[in-house]
Amino acid sequence: MGLIECNSDNQFDDILRSNQGKLIIADFFATWCGPCKKIGPQFKEASKCKPSITFVTVDIDKCKETAMKNGVKSVPTLMAFVGTNRMDVCSNTANLLDWVSKWERNTSTGESVVPGQIDLLPFISVSSSEILNDVDETQFRLMFSSPENNYKLISDCDEQLIINLVFNRPVKIHSIAIGGPGDEAPKTVKLFANVPRRRTSSITLC
């Protein structure tokens, strides 16, 4: 994709919208910033090493609304986007290439079967997630590291499986795909959002 110089808020919005489901690395900088001048050549070199990724330089003095909307408080600030979704902020610019490579791995297989969406598998905290009433819990763990192997989740003493998935960042779920062979596929799926609610109590005065 190469390196794009962004000089307006509208241009930045267009870049995000035209790259739905794809990784975008943005460098928020200012022309008067000394550290920005140091990271600039590294950012340009990274764009050459990773041609499949869209790299964008964003001048905060020309794109004030974009910088404010994304919470840019200092420069240089590096951010990873997947389409219009801001995914991460890089605070250690010394490890720029490692950080970019991490997000390249997370999104390289993140193409979703739903147009404009991404696979949320990389954002599931496997150690915090759990499955209940499964014949073999190791299948559940392996499923996240090697999804291409088509591991099976099989219920044990009854027909119900309870799966608790924990994400390592706030996400919005658009669709869930569940597969199974013929008559062995799930018949009923119930979804619950584990969102804490503030308890309220009422007091009756006599």
Residue in 6, 36, 63, 90 annotated catalytic = 36
Contact partners, residue 20, CB within 8 Å, separation at least 6: 83, 84, 115, 116
**CATH code given to domain 2-108:** 3.40.30.10
pLDDT of residue 15 exceeding 50, the answer is yes
Instruction: Take residue 193 and report the two structure tokens written for it.
Output: 């959002």
The pLDDT of residue 59: 96
Residue in 33, 49, 63, 90 annotated catalytic = 33
The pLDDT of residue 206: 37
Indicate if 33 belongs to the active site: yes
Instruction: Tell me which of 45-59, 67-81, 140-154, 189-203 is least confident.
Output: 189-203
The pLDDT of residue 58: 97
CA pair distance 199, 13, nearest whole angstrom: 40
- Domain limits of the chain? 2-108, 121-184
* pLDDT classification of 27: cutoffs 50, 70, 90: very high
Indicate if 36 belongs to the active site: yes
Cα–Cα nearest to 12, from 86, 76, 73: 86
Instruction: Tell me which of 7-11, 38-42, 108-112, 128-132 is least confident.
Output: 108-112
pLDDT, one tens digit per residue, over 92-117 is 788 898 889 888 877 754 556 666 66
CA pair distance 43, 21, nearest whole angstrom: 22
CA pair distance 15, 56, nearest whole angstrom: 9
User: What is this structure's pTM?
Assistant: 0.59
Query: CA neighbours within 13 Å on the CB side: how many for 103?
Result: 27
pLDDT of residue 198 exceeding 70, the answer is no
pLDDT, one tens digit per residue, over 107-161 is 754 556 666 667 777 778 888 889 898 888 788 888 776 666 677 888 888 888 8
Instruction: Take residue 88 and report the two structure tokens written for it.
Output: 């991460």
Amino acid code (one letter) for 85:
N
Residue-wise DSSP of 49-80: H-TTSEEEEEETTT-HHHHHHTT--SSSEEEE
